[in-house]
Homo-oligomer: A and B are copies of this chain.
Amino acid sequence: MKSGYTIGCDFGTLSMRAVLVRLEDGAILAEQVYEYPDSVITERLPGSGVELKGPGWALQNPDDWLNAMYTCVPAVVAAAKVAKSDIKGIGVDFTTCTVLPMDRQGTPLCKLPQYRSRPHAWPKLWKNHTAVPEAEDMTRADTQNHRHVFDDYGFRASSEFFFPKILEVLRKDEEIYNTAYTFIEGGDYVTYKMTGALVRSSCLAAAKAQYNAAEHRYPPKEFFRDLDPRMEGVVEDKHLGSIGTGASRAGLLQPEMAEKLGLCAGTPVCIAHADAAVALVGAGAIHPNEITFAMGTSTCHIMMAETKEQIPGMFGVYKDGVLPDYYTYEAGQDAVGDIFDWFCRRMVPQSYFDEAAARGVAIQKLLDEKAGAIPVGASGVMALDWMNGNRSILQDTDLTGMIMGLTLSTKAEEVYRALIEATAFGTRVIMEAFARYNVPVKKIFACGGLAHKSPILMQIYADILNQPISVTAVKQTSALSTAIFAAVAAGSRDGGYDTFDEAVEHMVQPPRRVYTPDPANVPKYDRLYRVYREMHDLLGAAKESPMKELRRIQRESIQ
């Protein structure tokens, strides 16, 4: 029986969550959350108060990340009442691609007085969207010159990717570009701060920086030269080279950092991972063709497989994305929980809030209950779930949400149910794409807030996908995953596990609940899905879609 513990640090968009996990059985003995004081910076830079002009900004303060570590790690060790010498390893997962320029001494440029008021010196959060023109230029250059850089990323660059964000710095503030010793992902920055070693994560680099782990290379020089001759040598110039995979160690905890974290110097530190992708380990979905839905404000669908298939509209397919040797497939829906929140805030009348308050339940719980009582198809309402565009399979940010079947007697809960169903239909489109391209989904795991909070929603998903869905035992799936990575990074010699199979067998508990399809609902949803699919194709896939024309008109009328 293993003794000892590992710590997983899960850096989200608004907060960091640390968990202290028992190696023996994966029990979470302590947990601590730290909300970032500067949260997401969208309007003015902290300190200087410099205004961020135009839309799309989403920056972060790197001190928030370190302070989160300094607060949470000692707190979980204290709360669990364990000896620091029993902490066998520590790991980090992070939003991606969240990237910052850093100098040779390891200081983020935004911390230097001379750059503090320069927006491009700050970390750009994954959802910073100011690099849309750069992403478009990259797509165009890639296509025109047949570089095939984005073939495994749905054939398109996204402004969320690494290199469009870097190109934007070069174009908008060349001094920052030139001064930067490196551009580094937030996750790598944190492990670097702990270990002093500049070892990047293949999970992050493959997901968002087009790093080809099978051939150990970034996009070719020519690709960067096509875009800007100054960027030709970016990989070497900016020291992007050193990459670790799987549960590689980034290094060992340095004494100064060990003191701040209340841990022992020399504790193994695992390389960082992407917060959504990593979840599959904590879900136990470590075998090929087992998919994990990380369901929150948006949903990520992560699956490993043994072969690489080019599935049109997949957000990414890359080797060594999570576990070594496998290919990781990533698909997503840009808004899921966000749609329900938007609906509750913008479309639900007060009487529902009054009823929820009188009964002492949350509004979404009340709506869940009312929506759950509606028989399949009985409302006649159907929606398209594109209120924040479509990431997979259509990959079109210009798509918008739609609701049809409205009558003068349509009620809020009927629209709410239609919105839930729309997100499930959207997932089914993705599942069918996997199947069509010979990467069929054999087992579904679900984690994230929605999976744990809404049994109605999960049952609808099981019915619509016609497959059982296992909801993870713990809510903190990504943080647990990261603790498991830390355990494997430690290895048996240092008190951890040598393989993922072994670690998962011990540290991942059976699903909290398995939702199985209701056979009475499956054929009804098959029929409704055909209607969804027809609307999907008419409005989303068709080149001359009225929905897209509406968006063009909107864009022109705003200019």
Whether A535 pairs with B531 at a CB distance below 8 angstroms is no
Query: Residue A440 at the B interface, CB < 8 A?
Result: no
* Residues on B with beta carbons closer than 8 Å to the beta carbon of A229: none
Identical chains bound together, number: 2
Are A406's CB and B400's CB within 8 A?
yes
Which B residues lie within 8 Å of A342 (CB)? 408, 410
Given contacts A348-B349, A531-B550, contact A406 B387 (CB under 8 A): yes
Do B412 and A401 have beta carbons less than 8 Å apart?
no
Does A170 lie at the interface of the complex (its beta carbon under 8 Å from any beta carbon of B)? no
Closest-CB distance, A406 to chain B (whole angstroms)? 3
A345 to B411, CA, bound (A): 10
- Interface: A382 (CB within 8 A): yes
Cα A350 to Cα B344 in complex, Å, equals: 11
Interface residues as binary, A395-430 with B (CB distance below 8 Å gives 1, 0 otherwise) = 000001111111110111000000000000000000
Residue contact A408 to B338, C-beta cutoff 8 Å: yes
Instruction: Name A387's contact: one of B345, B375, B407, B556 (CB within 8 Å).
Output: B407
Known: A380-B553, A553-B527, A554-B378. A346 touches B410 (CB 8 A): yes
Instruction: Collect the chain B residues with CB atoms within 8 Å of residue A550's CB.
Output: 380, 382, 404-405, 528, 531
Tell me which of A347, A348, A388, A539 has the highest count of chain B C-beta atoms within 10 A of its own C-beta: A347
Partner among B349, B387, B407 whose Cβ is within 8 Å of the Cβ of A349: B349
Point out the residues of chain B lying under 8 angstroms from A404, CB to CB.
Answer: 384, 400-403, 539, 547, 550
Q: Which of B346, B377, B401, B530 contacts A556 (CB 8 A)?
A: B377
User: Given B346, B411, B531, which contacts A549 in the complex, CB threshold below 8 Å?
Assistant: B531
Choice from B349, B528, B557 contacting A376 with Cβ under 8 Å: B557
Q: Tell me the A283-339 residues at the B interface (CB within 8 Å).
A: 335, 338-339
Give A556's nearest chain B residue, CB to CB.
B377
Q: Is the CB of B388 within 8 A of A408?
A: yes
Q: Do the beta carbons of A405 and B551 come within 8 Å of each other?
A: yes
CA distance A388 to B350 in the complex (A): 24
Q: B558 near A531 (CB under 8 angstroms)? A: no
CB distance from A319 to the nearest CB of B (A): 34
A546 at the interface (CB under 8 A from B): yes
Q: Is the CB of A400 within 8 A of B411?
A: no
**In the docked arrangement, what's the CA distance between A183 and B262, Å?**
93
| Chain B residue contacts of A382, Cβ below 8 A | 550
Residue A524 CB within 8 A of the other chain: yes
Q: Write the nearest CB–CB distance from A129 to chain B, whole angstroms.
A: 13
Nearest chain B CB to A265 CB, angstrom units: 46
Closest CB-CB distance, A411 to chain B, in whole Å?
A: 7
**Distance between Cα atoms of A296 and B377 in the complex (Å):** 32
Query: B residues within 8 A CB of A387?
Result: 406-408, 410
Which chain A residues numbered 513 to 544 have a C-beta less than 8 Å away from chain B? Answer: 524, 527-528, 530-531, 534-535, 538-539
A158 cross-chain contacts in B, Cβ below 8 A: none
Which residues on the B side are within 8 Å of A254 (C-beta)? Answer: none
Q: Are A535 and B546 in contact (CB under 8 A)?
A: yes
Q: How far is the CA of A549 from the CA of B535 in the complex (A)?
A: 11
**Interface residue A61 (Cβ < 8 Å from any Cβ of B):** no
How far does the alpha carbon of A376 sit from the alpha carbon of B550 in the complex, in Å?
11
Are B346 and A346 closer than 8 Å at their CB atoms?
A: no
In the bound complex, how far is the Cα of B550 from the Cα of A382, in angstroms?
A: 8
Q: Is A34 an interface residue (CB 8 A)?
A: no
| Known A380-B553, A405-B551; further 4 A-B contacts with Cβ < 8 A | A350-B350, A376-B557, A404-B550, A538-B546
Please provide the 10 A-B residue pairs with the shortest distance between their CB atoms, ordered closest to farther: A401-B406, A380-B554, A377-B557, A402-B404, A350-B350, A534-B546, A377-B553, A531-B546, A400-B405, A378-B557
